[in-house]
Chains A and B, each alone.
Chain A
Amino acid sequence: MEHLNIFIKAIFIENMIFAYFLGMCSYLAISKTVKSAIGLGLAVIFVLFISVPTCYLLEKYILKAGALQWLSSDLAAIDLSFLSFIMFIATIASIVQLVEMIIEKYAPALYSSLGIFLPLIAVNCSILGGALFMQEREYATLGEASVFGLGSGVGWFLAIVALSAIREKLRYSNVPAPLRGLGITFILTGLMAIAFMSFMGISL
């Protein structure tokens, strides 16, 4: 039950885009057509689902104060938490590389549909954000951390697909010239976020 709660919360209430604005850059840049939005969204789900649990293991067994105790009791006093930024970003960058190679080898069709989006994900704030939120909220088990990663990814996917669908329709409407493009997209995202606020307070 706890897992389901974290999952729903990560998708709707603490949505990466609507509540924390993470990954906005690629969200704004790639949301012009539904097709590319789905590609990027799937890639984000995939990478978040793998990188958040990996960062959880790193945090638990290497970085946290006293985490090195499993190695030898002399190391119990060591606190490496100041290294977490550099560790997480290096882990994410290499996971993205690895995922890219694996997909290219075993699922060429998926690889060609994701295309250039995979390497871009390394610098997508939502991935590092997911890892840092996981660290801050101190999820208790590996399962909770993975569910949180998956939920955040699904939330991001929903947001970008919804926005791109609206933007496809928006092409036929008459937007005031200074608002065209970026401006109206911001206001649209704001309105969508207000709609998502109605999920607040749901708990399972």
Chain B
Amino acid sequence: MSKETTAAPAKEKVPKEPLFSAKNKRLLYDPLNDNNPITVQVLGICSALAVTVKMKPAIVMALAVMVVCAFSNLIISLIRNIIPNRIRIIVQLTVVAAMVIIVDQFLKAFVFDVSKQLSVFVGLIITNCIIMGRLEAFAMANKPWPSFLDGIGNGLGYGIILVIVSIVRELLGSGALMGFQIIPESFYKMGYFNNSLIIMPPMALIIVGIIIWIQRSRNQKLIESK
């Protein structure tokens, strides 16, 4: 399994905590950089890369993961005290699978073309380690509202990497963003070519590698010891 940075369970009883206290805000912002699910926690890479050829499916995928992550965190956190410990994985899988079915049916109803492009990867959100990882590490030990925020935060952190990778790949690979042509026609006449290698799956891995490189050289404390 991937290594996991556990969040300290909020034990202290604060009588009336504001909805967006500093602690809760950190739950939202932390996964964007210091504790990013993809580049730092190494979770959920499986589905992250195959959908990043174009920006639109990447954004839809990011939203889907965010919704599933937030709501399954919420549900598991609400019932965390009545789940028998031995069968918690099955319970979690069932909740997540139910959420994914709802999202899948929603996508099929409203954005059918994107849903076709995502093909099996919507279903694979079930085994996305981000969701299982957050359920195990956070939702099982925290109250519903922080868990919900944690789900949104991790969904955003996942989405941000997806969107960066897809911007690079769509811009260099097909000269467009969100389907709109960005690189003008005159460039092509002067001999510019779309880089067709970047549409191929391997380049997604290399782009993520480079993102990790940039992030860790800016943020020295993330560097792994030898």
Q: Which residues of A contact B (CB under 8 A)?
A: 18-26, 28-29, 82-86, 88-90, 93, 120, 122-129, 132-133, 135-136, 176-187, 189-191, 193-194, 197
Most chain-A Cβ atoms within 10 A of its Cβ — which of B49, B98, B213?
B213
Q: Does B173 contact A (CB under 8 A)?
A: no
- Interchain CB contact under 8 A, A122 and B201: no
Q: Does B203 contact A (CB under 8 A)?
A: yes
**What A residues does B203 contact at CB under 8 A?**
190
**What B residues does A135 contact at CB under 8 A?**
120
**What B residues does A22 contact at CB under 8 A?**
46, 124
With A21-B49, A22-B46, A85-B126 as known contacts, state yes or no: A187 contacts B1, CB within 8 Å.
no
Q: Which residues of B contact A (CB under 8 A)?
A: 1-3, 39, 42-50, 89-90, 93-94, 97-98, 100-101, 104-105, 119-120, 123-124, 126-129, 132, 200-206, 208-210, 212-217, 223-224, 226
Total A-B residue pairs with C-beta atoms closer than 8 Å?
150
**What A residues does B123 contact at CB under 8 A?**
84-85, 88, 128, 132
With A85-B100, A132-B124, A197-B200 as known contacts, state yes or no: A182 contacts B44, CB within 8 Å.
no
A19 to B199 alpha-carbon distance, docked (Å):
12
- Interchain CB contact under 8 A, A186 and B205: yes
- Interchain CB contact under 8 A, A193 and B127: no
A171 to B222 alpha-carbon distance, docked (Å):
19
With A182-B42, A189-B205, A197-B202 as known contacts, state yes or no: A21 contacts B223, CB within 8 Å.
no
- Taking a contact as CB atoms closer than 8 A, the residue among A21, A85, A88, A179 that contacts B104 in the complex is A85
- Interchain CB contact under 8 A, B224 and A181: yes
